[in-house]
């Protein structure tokens, strides 16, 4: 089947001349761009474009696909799909995003009674809710290099012989060796997708130099996503709590939202209810570091926390809007 040609034609016909910066040019019998218009925008011949759409030319170069994607103003996911339809690897991304979009802020707010931590694609923790702190401690106390879970795993294996998901022991049911192997396999996928990310490259190179176990796993060739686990938390006040850790990947992002849940009607569920009651948690929002959340995100977060509209918050602080730290609170309480 000619997936590339069908996709290319469909996207050409959906794009109006005005969207591409062209004049409409009188009456048009079909919607979208004419072949000669797209060919001119992409810098290819009309004859070659006809061959591509009809499936008689099946091996366009990456340069041609890039030019077509740019001319059609495709978003990154559509561009990558066009590359795959041409049997080409999509272009690598730039740096790993550590920004938490507003939609993910709202998602974690709705999960306020469920422990939730937000990780970048390279396993850097960039946000968490208060229930996460109540369950597994404040991430600012974890001591991970560069706030990175994978680096933290190897720091812990070398020193304390425990899983460092928390400020206190958290043990995986599958065994720490299996979990570390899966996390390294996941990190390899991200590193391949972001070869120009200097921060990620520095992290990997440092682990390769210092940690023989990491180097062995890194070079064994395994690659794949980390999909979750069952763990037992050794909570300092409530004792052992068994949780299921699942990974949510919000559409349009490379973020990983880790959630912790317990089986219903169990002692573990009762202990989690006790934590919620002790922390007065019904639906608290997300804690983020200022650099990982734009001003609009922080303003929304605080309007939810204080129960007032965003215009009132602007009046309280005047200009500019600012956040006081990773818990997203004011440097000084408004009022």
Backbone φ and ψ of 129, nearest 5°: -100, 175
Q: Strand 125-129 relative to strand 239-248: parallel, antiparallel, unpaired?
A: unpaired
Q: Say whether pLDDT at 284 is over 90.
A: no
Tens of pLDDT, residue by residue over 86-121, are 999 888 778 999 999 988 988 898 888 999 999 999
Given phi > 0 = left and psi -120 to 50 = alpha, else beta, which region is 274? Answer: alpha
pLDDT of the residue at 28: 66
Q: Say whether pLDDT at 256 is over 80.
A: yes
> How far apart (Å, rounded) are the C-alpha atoms in residues 289 and 11?
39
Tens of pLDDT, residue by residue over 189-212, are 999 888 889 999 999 999 999 999
For the domain made up of 3-85, the CATH class stated in words is mainly alpha
Helices 62-71 and 76-85 cross at an angle (nearest 10°) of: 140
pLDDT of the residue at 324: 29
Query: What is the full DSSP assignment across 268-309?
Result: HHHHHHHHHHHHT-SS--EEE-GGGS-HHHHHHHHHHHHTS-
324 or 89: which leads in pLDDT? 89
Q: Say whether pLDDT at 250 is over 50.
A: yes
Res. 24 pLDDT band, cuts 50 70 90: low
Quickly list H helices, 95-175: 102-110, 130-136, 149-159
Q: Say whether pLDDT at 22 is over 90.
A: no
pLDDT of the residue at 7: 93
pLDDT of the residue at 285: 52
164 or 172: which leads in pLDDT? 172
The residue ranges of every structural domain in the chain are 3-85, 102-286, 294-335
- CATH domain 102-286 topology: Beta-Lactamase (3.30.450)
pLDDT of the residue at 54: 93
Minimum mean pLDDT among 36-45, 159-168, 267-276, 283-292: which range? 283-292
- 131 CB contacts (<8 Å, ≥6 apart)? 112, 113, 114, 115, 116, 275, 276, 279, 281, 284
> HSE (CB half, 13 Å, CA atoms) of 176?
19
Mean pLDDT of the chain: 81
Q: Say whether pLDDT at 254 is over 50.
A: yes
Contact 8, 53 (CB under 8 A): yes
Fold: same for 3-85 and 102-286: no
Give the dihedral sign, CA 307/311/312/318: positive
Res. 317 pLDDT band, cuts 50 70 90: very low
Tens of pLDDT, residue by residue over 125-145, are 999 999 999 999 999 988 899
Q: Say whether pLDDT at 216 is over 80.
A: yes
Res. 53 pLDDT band, cuts 50 70 90: very high
Residue percentage of the chain with pLDDT more than 90:
53
Q: Say whether pLDDT at 69 is over 90.
A: yes
Res. 329 pLDDT band, cuts 50 70 90: very low
Structure tokens at 89: 């690897």
Res. 15 pLDDT band, cuts 50 70 90: confident
CA triplet 145, 149, 152: central angle to 5 degrees? 50
């Amino acid at each position: 089947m000619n997936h590339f040609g069908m996709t290319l034609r469909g996207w050409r016909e959906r794009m109006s001349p005005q969207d591409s910066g062209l004049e409409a040019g009188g009456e048009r019998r079909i919607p979208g761009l004419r072949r000669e218009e797209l060919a001119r925008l992409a810098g290819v011949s009309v004859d070659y474009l006809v061959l591509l759409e009809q499936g008689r030319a099946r091996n366009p170069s990456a340069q041609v696909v890039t030019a077509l994607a740019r001319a059609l103003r495709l978003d990154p996911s559509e561009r990558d799909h066009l590359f795959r339809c041409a049997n080409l690897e999509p272009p690598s991304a730039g740096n790993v995003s550590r920004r938490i979009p507003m939609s993910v802020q709202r998602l974690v707010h709705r999960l306020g009674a469920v422990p939730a931590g937000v990780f970048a694609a390279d396993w850097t923790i960039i946000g968490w809710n208060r229930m996460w702190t109540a369950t597994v401690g404040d991430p600012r106390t974890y001591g991970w290099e560069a706030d990175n879970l994978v680096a933290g795993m190897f720091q812990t294996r070398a020193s304390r012989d425990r899983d460092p998901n928390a400020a206190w022991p958290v043990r995986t049911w599958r065994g720490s060796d299996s979990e570390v192997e899966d996390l390294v396999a996941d990190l390899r996928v991200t590193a391949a997708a972001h070869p120009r990310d200097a921060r990620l490259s520095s992290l990997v190179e440092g682990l390769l130099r210092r940690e023989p176990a990491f180097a062995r796993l890194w070079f064994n060739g395994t690659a794949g996503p980390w999909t979750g686990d069952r763990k037992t938390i050794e909570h300092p006040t409530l004792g052992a709590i068994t949780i299921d850790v699942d990974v949510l990947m919000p559409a349009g992002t490379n973020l990983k939202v880790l959630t912790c849940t317990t089986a219903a009607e169990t002692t573990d569920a009762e202990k989690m209810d006790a934590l919620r009651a002790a922390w007065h948690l019904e639906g608290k929002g997300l804690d983020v570091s200022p650099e990982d959340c734009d001003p609009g995100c922080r303003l929304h977060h605080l309007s939810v926390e204080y129960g007032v509209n965003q215009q009132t918050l602007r009046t309280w602080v005047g200009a500019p809007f600012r956040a006081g730290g990773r818990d997203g609170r004011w440097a000084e309480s408004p009022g």
